[in-house]
Copies of this chain bind each other. A is one copy, B any other.
Amino acid sequence: MKRLMMIAVAAIALTAAAQQEIRRGTAQAAGPRVEKDGRVTFTLAAPTATAVTMQLDGSADLTLSRSGDVWTVTTPKALSPDVYRYLYVVDGVPVLDPSNVHTMRDVSTVKNLLIIDTPQRDLPLAVHDVPHGTVSAVWYNSPTLGRQRRMMVYTPAGYDSGRTRYPVLYLLHGSGGDETAWLEQGFVAQMLDNLIATGKVSPMIVVMPNGHTDTDAAPGADGRGLVAPSFDHKQWMEGSFEQSFGDIMAYVESHYRTRALKRGRAIAGLSMGGLHSLYISANRPADFGYVGLFSAAVMPRGGNTATVYQDLDGKLKALARQRPSLYWIGIGKDDFLYKENIGLREQLDNAKVRYTYVESDGGHEWRNWRAYLLQLLPLLFK
């Protein structure tokens, strides 16, 4: 009852929203309510709606039932500890939860965020009371592209107060993403904070550049204005990101206290970022001690013949001679790039590149990419 009243109050306040928007209320968990049995109850005020459903990660669409002005549904089963996205659909209109300000964007789809932690409160994707690293939005100069571009940089707790040098993981997003994707959908800062705090992962710098060279930064963060995020880019897997990657390394190694040698550098990415990681490491066989390919694209767009894409077999043989400490591949059984990855493994076998291969359930999805990163991180810089 308390909850229903809260929602009614919120609805009234919304209608009466003045410029000041000063509303008072006691602090409370945002949005859905976790029941004692671990099931989760979702509630939405929609007085005149005729049908309310919701999308919830990992579930079939749920149908909400009316109770007065309010619609509600409880999940049939407890939700296991993880991050979830959900979105209401009210009479065909997608509706974000007005009682939950926490959202997550995947390309152009925004949904609400729900985090179910473990009973021990040690879900690596949640914020816990451990030392936190610094996350910065940094503009670097790319002489190759002739522009300033933005990247996100995670430096571990202690970096700002010490003199230690750290290894660097370059972590690359997919074709629908940007420099914010691994932070906002991948929960990278939370993972690193938590796993470094428990000693499972080596303290490291994580550099997350923007892989679309026709943009300077994420939608809204560069001079294009409030554009819509999109998969389509003028320049897309045509070599310019790989060709200009040295600019990023040069900036990072001249502006941060890094271990600027092979065993202090890792590169990993998902989908398009997997393609980038594949070709950047193949073109710079002496530069990376660790390579991670998550649901990697293997073929450049339209059979592009940029120099960086030529003679992959020969480049992989050169890489094999450098004996990287780890070459790690993760792919889901249902991923639409599964077959491309079979071909890649054959190429790696032929070139005698030793690799670790992890085949998971599921497809081309963040749940897998987070899981792959959680598996990869403890293996880096050991």
A interface residues, Cβ below 8 angstroms from B: 11, 14-15, 17, 19-31, 44-50, 55, 57, 89-96, 98-103, 105-110, 113-115, 117, 126-129, 131-139, 148, 150, 157, 160-161, 176, 216, 219-223, 225-233, 255, 336, 362-365, 367
Contact = CB atoms under 8 A, between A and B. Distances in A.
Nearest to A176: B22
B226 A115 contact: yes
B31 A227 contact: no
B228 A29 contact: yes
A236 to B, nearest CB: 11
Given A19-B57, A46-B91, A90-B90, 19 more contacts: A14-B89, A17-B55, A17-B109, A20-B336, A20-B364, A21-B106, A22-B364, A23-B108, A26-B230, A27-B228, A27-B230, A31-B228, A49-B93, A90-B95, A101-B228, A113-B226, A129-B223, A132-B148, A134-B139
Contacts of A92: 11, 45-48
B230 A128 contact: no
A260 B252 CA distance: 28
Nearest to A27: B230
B255 A26 contact: no
A110 B139 CA distance: 28
Contacts of A110: 96, 98, 101, 103
Contacts of A127: 220-223, 225
A73 to B, nearest CB: 16
A250 to B, nearest CB: 12
11 contacts: A15-B89, A19-B364, A19-B365, A48-B91, A91-B91, A95-B95, A101-B110, A113-B226, A115-B226, A127-B221, A136-B136
